[in-house]
Structure 1
Amino acid sequence: MAELVKTEAPAATPTGELDAARLHALTGGNPFYLTEVLAEPGQPVPASVRDAVLARAARLGPRQRAALEAVAIFPGGAQIGLIDGDPAAVDGCVAAGMLVTAGRVVGFRHELARLAVDSAIPPGRKTALHTRTLASLGAAGADPARLAYHAEEAGDGAAVLRHAPEAARRASAVGANRQAADQYARALRFAAALPPAERAELLTVYAETCDVIGDAAAMSASSAALECWREAGDRAQEAALLARRAHYLWASGEAAAARAAVREAMTLAGRLPPGPALAAAYTWTGYLLMLARDIPGAIDASEHAVGLIERHGPPVLLTRALNALGTARWFTDPRLAEGTLRRAAEAARSAGDDAGMGWVLVNLGSGAGEIREYAVAEPALREAIDWATARDQDRVAGYATAWLARCQFERGDWAEATRTLAAASGPDKAVPARIVRLTTLGRLRARRGDPGAAEALSEAWTLAERTGDLQRLWPVAAGRAELAWLSGRPDAEVGGLVASTYELAVRLGHPWAIGELGQWLLVDGSATNPSVTVGSNATALAATALPAPALPAPGAADPYRLPPELAALAWERLGCPYEAASALALAGEQASAGHADGGQGPAAAAGALLEALRRFERLGARPAADRVAARLRALGVRPPRRATLAHPSGLTEREAEVLALIRQGHGNAEIAARLSISAKTVDHHVSAILGKLGARTRHEAAQHEAAEQADALFGESAE
């Protein structure tokens, strides 16, 4: 029998949305029940359903009604031997259709019917039934979750405090974190008389579990736990929890309060002998600095934390400290970053830290994505989503899904990004995930020319400003500037949207943020910071104006300081088609103005602009395509009709590239190597191609007319 928690819950979520799984569990698909629940979504049992069920029960004899009540106290049904009633009366309820049997288990056909009967049991009788059941189950050594449920219903607080925490620990151990949170909450309803330290321990672990499932109760629980630790006079635990609470504050968007919490933790722990409290203070200080992209500070604090943990513990903190350290290293030494994060994963496995493992996988993916190493990023993000979904780690799953959508968007797989964004949407998401999702959605809409871009980016900006963190501010600022530019707003207004964030990027030395934000300052000529020299690529800004002598290695920020022709190649290598098209458009602009080497003038300009137009159209980037088309007309060149530039058979640009390589006889591994993507990503593309073409095999797809079109578009570059 499943672990039991309180089931007297409405079919609607706290936000008012109807939960399909809960609806089916309550109604079993019964049309009458379903209709009535939908009509009264906020009620545990709609009045009409309660009246109908109780009317049927009233037709039973007294002994049968007593048996029905005895079964109603068991969510999910009861073993026949546990039912406090006459077996013959139970049989009568089955014969009347009120109960059903499955082996030696007797229960209600629909959970809603059970709830209706249970709600009508007189309080004294209900308490007595649960008390006798608790004694029977306790003597049989039953599951702690069942014991905790019946203990609460019997009003036996001591029994609840014995069984509910153990039930929660068992639930957490198998990844059932929502059940664990329910059990800790059950225990806390009876914890008022516990000594402060015991109550604090219970509140602390409840807060941690709520954080895992994305429940805002982590804030109130950790606040209450702090008061208990202070009442108990345990300064070490107070300091450790202050530091841990900083992450809860940060996740809720309260970055200033989070930073204040770690400062207070560091001060308090600094007055104590070196130990776990100081290790916690350094761990979460390093984590917040990493999130703010203060990379030197994050590395210093995290290395200090690792040393303290190795000497003083606790081992579970090692995962978090190594996670912060490895993520910070993405921006100094990507290979070392990946190795450090793999070590963090091993630490999580050793400590049984499933929640920590989820965040390691997220940062392996999001960190790689931030430096545009998509072959590392996307498999890690997919693994994070799978890991988190199987363990009720809603915050991890939500953030990883939002980041996966961002990677897909940057790679030009806009159809897939749209589907992933839909999966990432929903109520009560943590602020960081909401920022990533809204920013990606707004930028996608802006580049497509779809409505709603400004609204999404405005909401993202409001949330990002509260954090003050570069990694939150930078993409939103760049997206707002791009939308303004595509919308034809004045150049000075475009640059003004990124100025303050650009200054922060320069102060923190983040090359990718400096590059992307700097391009919008170049629009109005306001990039005057003496620490940065404007290069010849007006889609970029970086540390030198000199062209790089060779193509950049994947993940480096070189594309922002290369001449546009080389920048286009660099962006192609990274797998960023929109940026590659933008660089080609700039090459055409410079050629038309006579700035290109070799003085090829109009012919070179038209060639680059036509290629940029073709790429923008294949992406579905109509605003950018319209600007390039207008420039071509100004040069006296008639741009091709939009229909001639579209993807064959509705394929995305990447899918068409993959199809061209299939037609040439390449296998998935070869395609992955040529396009610098993972083999799993190629698998996804091949499945999508087969579906869109209606082909059953790769051979059929290769013979399709669309394959010939794709080969004509991509064959030369694919080879």
Structure 2
Amino acid sequence: MQSSQAGSHMIGREEELRALTDAYGLAVQSKPQAVVVAGEAGLGKTRLLREFLNGISGTARILSGQCVDLGPLATPYAPITAVLRDLAGETGLAGLLDLAGPGRDALSLLLPEAGMPEPGNSTANLVLEAVSTVLERAAEGRPTVVVVEDLHWADESTLAVLSFILRAFNGGQFLLVMSYRTDDVHRGHPLRAFLAEVERGRFAKNIQLGRLNREQVRQQLEAITAAPADYELVENVLSRSDGIPFFVEELAGLGACASTTELPSSLRDLLLARYERMDEPVQYFLRVIAAGGTCVPHALAEHAFDQVEDGFEASARLAQQANLITIDGDSYTFRHALLREAIHSDLLPGERTRFHTRYAQALENQDPARRDTAAIAYHWDAANVPDKTFKASIDAMGEAWRSFAYTTSARMGERALELWDSVSEPEQMAGMPRYRLMGRTAGAHNLAGDGERSLAVIRLAVRDPAATGPERARLLAAQATYLGINAKPGSEPLLREALELVPPGVDEKLRARLLNWLAARLMLSGRLEEAVAEASEALELATAIGNAEERSVAANLRGVSRIGSGDIAGGREDVEAAEHLAEGHGQALLRFRVNYSDALNLLGLYDESIEVAEAGIERARQLGVARTSGAILSSNAVDPLFARGDWARASALLERNLQLSPPSSFHGYLIRSKIWLTLWGGDVAGAEGLFRRWESLLRELAAVEMQSRLHFAALRAELAWAGGELDRAWEEVLFVLGPDFRPLPGYDLPLLALAARVLAARRRAGTQPAMAQPAGDDESRLRAVLARDSFWPTHAAWAALFDAELGGRLGTGDDPAAWHRSEGLAAALPAHLRHYIGLRAGEAELAAGRRMEAAAALRAAVDGAEALGARLVAGLGRDFAARAGLSLDGPRHRPNTDELTEREHQVLALVADGLTNRQIGERLFISAKTASVHVSAIMRKLGASSRTEAAACLLARK
């Protein structure tokens, strides 16, 4: 800490100061940096930061915020609000709001002086985005340093903002510096998870302060006393201080401390030694300030001080002169938090109650727009006034919820529940029955990401006998939702029980919502016909009551379920209607774009899928939520980008979205894509390692979602196949023949093709299938499942691949013609399989004795796979060529390049019928752009200059 005794020269921190300066240098080059300064209490973290900031104060904008020691009732976002107010002091409030752009409404939740959000505006999840955007834009034109001290006291909402900044910051001259006290971060402390994330993601540099050695203690003593320090003094101070600079300073400040007998016998005595030398009026002043916190505004301290007013100012001046406090603007700050803690712990019971009561009253009398309800609850709690604490906790819970500080909201709710039986008329004071308070507390836990606690609290609420009818239905629905979010089974029976409690005519809006929730669970579990029925009832009901949002959700769910059931045209009509109904309803619109882009991807309409997702991403950017809601939509663009062949762009999106830590289910989907990319990128061992790390999350998703179960089986089977474990791969793909399998064509067609790949590989290896039936029966059963999906637009392409895998006399994939037929339809398949098919075609050509054709096919497959990034295919191709003695150094082209593919024959026939590109796309379930590409290729191959000439070529061929 800076003090009059500390001297002008900082001792023993040269290397740490240099690390901070280096980080600032990189930030000035528009390479955003973050630094965490850690150390025990008293090691000089604040002194180091002040030394650093003094050195850059002439060039940088410095914004500071300090976390407050209010225990579990800490005010949400307190240091973030302080940082924003610092910035507003420079730019003006209007300038600050301009920096926030579309996120200004969310910013007003942290700065009440900015005005209330506009009615109807949804600001959920925008606080993180708004703060990050403001700081990023502020750092565009001037180096900006944000300092947040004492993270060990930070609330989870503050940590969430800092975590988001670390992961989302894109540019600007920005440096974030944070500090915390290591000895206060115990096992289970919320800061541990934040620090683990920071370290794991390498988002910040770590500076760990150590204790001073003997020579450094000597230098500090001499700097303080301006006199040589003899051996005995140095040894005594080193022994008592353990090399902690603050304690060295305190010991030196006691005066004659040459002998150990004159030194305080304990840490507490040391901390209080200088305090106890003051006259009683000054001590009383310090006790009042200690009850207020580490940093106390003058107005609050003056209100809490219940003695002569002249005594207040005189005592404050004497305390400052004694270097016990400093004046920070209009606030009194203890020179060190340890000193404040020691004085506060020394309060008599009557003083504790009196001082905290007066602070609570002073805070209650503040302007309502800036009233800190969490601090009020803290002071009433410290004063041991249950009724007041209960009411303040209820108020703080609501306020924290409205500002999306869900962890604080949950803690306030828990505190109120603990006091429920200790206060008179709790239901009247809370404005709600106990079960509703438990439901809201569970909801806050859920939104804060504490799934286990949300389930524990909601179960208690459901068991409350006072909860009946629609109220109980809402609690059951919440429990079902939390089970689904946390990938746990049991949602469906809860929702059905809830529906029984809300029969037709009781609460139609709630019933429509319950029906939609049930339809969603049924859809995810693969029970599509049931999902269509429930969504249809929800749609009819929502239409009758004029609820556009529930109508949109119902149309969306019904449409996606109808598509999966085979009614593709009707399903697309439903889903597209959902988009219009969702206007003005942010969550419904997000749901539409997520579901529709996924459905288009499964239909093989990769271009359209990307267009829908990108339209959502652009809308999210316009609304200022590109890094939150936009991230979820970005994640839905990843798979179609991979499928289309844009691997570089898909990889960049994937990594970006993983850094933003989306909700658990989306995180699971992204991790699955990451494992898949690692595998097909050629790092089989790395993919196995990633899978082991995230297997529990993927398994949990697979337990509640049929689509995830099919993906899970495919991923495990591909990993086993790539690792040469064919028996294990076979066990995985047999899921499609098991009793738990429910067909979802877009998901099970790839798994069926993989099953054929594994079966062929087992035949080549001479391994009998693990099941008792002959291999031929396994194949026929797989074909029966394949035939059930014949209505799916991409079925022909997947079926051709299936046939090629099991083609040839021995059913091992050695029929070149089958592979060439598959090549002709491969445009409908993901890009990596197109090169895999080329590889297998080359293998089959060699088996047929055509070495030249084999070499050409392998060469093209290897080149294409390398260009794409599918190094697994390229490696397999090179290995096969080496074993076969084939050279891959010949001409880089495939034979028969002017032959029309099967798909191009289909397109040409429709061109001859006079159809436009759009009509061709609708007929073949491809985009108009893809149809245009096919037409251009046909005209090039036929040498035709017009569509009419191309059609004439077709007639001539006939």
- TM-score over 0.5 for the pair: yes
Q: Does 1:81 align with 2:299?
A: yes
Q: Does 1:301 align with 2:534?
A: yes
State the match for 2:842 in structure 1: 588
> 494-503 vs 265-274, which deviates more?
265-274
- CA–CA separation in structure 2 for the residues paired with 1:344 and 1:113: 61
CA contact 1:58–1:65 (8 Å) conserved in 2: no
After superposition, the Cα gap between the structure-2 partners of 1:121 and 1:437, relative to the gap in structure 1 and judged at 3 Å, is: farther
State the match for 1:481 in structure 2: 717
Q: Does 1:606 align with 2:855?
A: yes
State the match for 2:274 in structure 1: 59
- CA–CA separation in structure 1 for the residues paired with 2:334 and 2:268: 11
Q: Does 1:209 align with 2:432?
A: no
What code does the residue aligned with 1:528 have?
A: S
Q: What secondary structure, in the 3-state scheme, does the structure 1 residue paired with 2:419 have? A: coil
- Of structures 1 and 2, the larger Rg is shown by 2
CA contact 2:155–2:408 (8 Å) conserved in 1: no
What code does the residue aligned with 1:89 have?
A: S
CA contact 1:302–1:324 (8 Å) conserved in 2: yes
What code does the residue aligned with 1:234 have?
A: T
What code does the residue aligned with 1:137 have?
A: L
Q: Does 1:129 align with 2:355?
A: yes
State the match for 1:652 in structure 2: none
* Match 1:11 to one of 152, 165, 174: 152
State the match for 2:824 in structure 1: 566
Offset, 1:568:
3.7
1:97-116 aligned within 5 A: 97-108=323-334
- CA–CA separation in structure 1 for the residues paired with 2:593 and 2:291: 42
* Match 1:638 to one of 869, 872, 887: 887
Q: Does 1:617 align with 2:866?
A: yes
- CA–CA separation in structure 2 for the residues paired with 1:295 and 1:283: 13
Q: Does 1:528 align with 2:777?
A: no
- CA–CA separation in structure 1 for the residues paired with 2:574 and 2:647: 26
- CA–CA separation in structure 2 for the residues paired with 1:322 and 1:190: 45
- CA–CA separation in structure 1 for the residues paired with 2:641 and 2:575: 21
Q: What secondary structure, in the 3-state scheme, does the structure 1 residue paired with 2:332 have? A: strand
CA contact 1:578–1:619 (8 Å) conserved in 2: yes
* Match 1:442 to one of 667, 675, 680: 675
CA contact 1:344–1:360 (8 Å) conserved in 2: no
CA contact 1:442–1:456 (8 Å) conserved in 2: yes
Offset, 1:113:
6.2
CA contact 2:320–2:326 (8 Å) conserved in 1: yes
CA contact 2:613–2:634 (8 Å) conserved in 1: no
Q: Does 1:250 align with 2:484?
A: yes
Q: What secondary structure, in the 3-state scheme, does the structure 2 residue paired with 1:106 have? A: strand
After superposition, the Cα gap between the structure-2 partners of 1:224 and 1:315, relative to the gap in structure 1 and judged at 3 Å, is: farther
Structure 2 unaligned regions, length at least 5: 1-64, 75-150, 166-175, 193-241, 248-265, 306-311, 761-777, 802-817, 891-926, 931-958
Q: Deviations over 1:9-53 (max 9, x none)?
A: 8839999xx99959x9xxx9798x6454579895999x9999868
CA contact 2:614–2:634 (8 Å) conserved in 1: no
State the match for 1:551 in structure 2: none
- CA–CA separation in structure 2 for the residues paired with 1:367 and 1:608: 33
Offset, 1:457:
3.3
1:529-548 aligned within 5 A: 529=781, 530-533=784-787
Q: What secondary structure, in the 3-state scheme, does the structure 2 residue paired with 1:639 have? A: coil
Q: Does 1:516 align with 2:750?
A: yes
After superposition, the Cα gap between the structure-2 partners of 1:145 and 1:602, relative to the gap in structure 1 and judged at 3 Å, is: same
Q: Deviations over 1:299-325 (max 9, x none)?
A: 332332244356569998677656645
Offset, 1:92:
3.5
What code does the residue aligned with 2:374 have?
A: A
After superposition, the Cα gap between the structure-2 partners of 1:146 and 1:222, relative to the gap in structure 1 and judged at 3 Å, is: same
CA contact 1:266–1:278 (8 Å) conserved in 2: yes
- CA–CA separation in structure 1 for the residues paired with 2:332 and 2:559: 54
What code does the residue aligned with 2:780 have?
A: T
1:678-693 aligned within 5 A: none
Q: Percent identity?
A: 20
- CA–CA separation in structure 1 for the residues paired with 2:581 and 2:342: 50
Q: What secondary structure, in the 3-state scheme, does the structure 1 residue paired with 2:495 have? A: helix
Question: TM-score, normalising length from structure 2?
Answer: 0.53
State the match for 1:597 in structure 2: none
* Match 2:522 to one of 289, 296, 303: 289
What code does the residue aligned with 1:259 have?
A: E
After superposition, the Cα gap between the structure-2 partners of 1:157 and 1:625, relative to the gap in structure 1 and judged at 3 Å, is: same
After superposition, the Cα gap between the structure-2 partners of 1:473 and 1:416, relative to the gap in structure 1 and judged at 3 Å, is: same
Offset, 1:518:
0.7
State the match for 1:686 in structure 2: none
Q: What secondary structure, in the 3-state scheme, does the structure 2 residue paired with 1:11 have? A: helix
Offset, 1:419:
3.3
After superposition, the Cα gap between the structure-2 partners of 1:36 and 1:173, relative to the gap in structure 1 and judged at 3 Å, is: closer
What code does the residue aligned with 1:220 have?
A: A
After superposition, the Cα gap between the structure-2 partners of 1:449 and 1:160, relative to the gap in structure 1 and judged at 3 Å, is: same
Question: TM-score, normalising length from structure 1?
Answer: 0.68
Offset, 1:146:
3.5
State the match for 1:264 in structure 2: 497
What code does the residue aligned with 2:873 have?
A: A
CA contact 1:5–1:182 (8 Å) conserved in 2: no
After superposition, the Cα gap between the structure-2 partners of 1:42 and 1:200, relative to the gap in structure 1 and judged at 3 Å, is: closer
Q: Does 1:223 align with 2:452?
A: no
State the match for 2:735 in structure 1: 500
Taking only aligned residues, the RMSD between alpha carbons, in angstroms, comes to 5.0
Offset, 1:222:
1.0
* Match 1:156 to one of 365, 368, 385: 385
Offset, 1:207:
1.8
- CA–CA separation in structure 1 for the residues paired with 2:460 and 2:624: 27
Offset, 1:155:
3.1
State the match for 1:684 in structure 2: none
Q: What secondary structure, in the 3-state scheme, does the structure 1 residue paired with 2:780 have? A: coil
What code does the residue aligned with 1:138 have?
A: E
State the match for 2:250 in structure 1: none
Offset, 1:223:
1.0
Q: Deviations over 1:117-149 (max 9, x none)?
A: 545544442222221122223233542334333
Q: Deviations over 1:546-594 (max 9, x none)?
A: 89xxxxxxxxxxxx999432344334xxxx4323322332443455556
* Match 2:613 to one of 374, 377, 386: 377
- CA–CA separation in structure 2 for the residues paired with 1:320 and 1:110: 55
State the match for 1:579 in structure 2: 833
State the match for 1:190 in structure 2: 419
> 277-286 vs 71-80, which deviates more?
71-80
CA contact 2:597–2:612 (8 Å) conserved in 1: yes
> 207-216 vs 512-521, which deviates more?
207-216
After superposition, the Cα gap between the structure-2 partners of 1:215 and 1:111, relative to the gap in structure 1 and judged at 3 Å, is: farther
CA contact 1:585–1:608 (8 Å) conserved in 2: yes
1:426-465 aligned within 5 A: 432-433=665-666, 435-447=668-680, 448-457=682-691, 460=695, 463-464=699-700
> 373-382 vs 127-136, which deviates more?
373-382
- CA–CA separation in structure 1 for the residues paired with 2:439 and 2:556: 22
Q: What secondary structure, in the 3-state scheme, does the structure 1 residue paired with 2:875 have? A: helix
After superposition, the Cα gap between the structure-2 partners of 1:276 and 1:376, relative to the gap in structure 1 and judged at 3 Å, is: closer
Offset, 1:277:
4.9
What code does the residue aligned with 1:147 have?
A: I
After superposition, the Cα gap between the structure-2 partners of 1:300 and 1:138, relative to the gap in structure 1 and judged at 3 Å, is: same
What code does the residue aligned with 2:399 have?
A: R
After superposition, the Cα gap between the structure-2 partners of 1:57 and 1:338, relative to the gap in structure 1 and judged at 3 Å, is: farther
CA contact 2:268–2:342 (8 Å) conserved in 1: yes
After superposition, the Cα gap between the structure-2 partners of 1:512 and 1:316, relative to the gap in structure 1 and judged at 3 Å, is: closer
Offset, 1:520:
1.6
Q: What secondary structure, in the 3-state scheme, does the structure 2 residue paired with 1:532 have? A: helix
**Residues paired across the two proteins, number:** 597
Q: What secondary structure, in the 3-state scheme, does the structure 1 residue paired with 2:359 have? A: helix
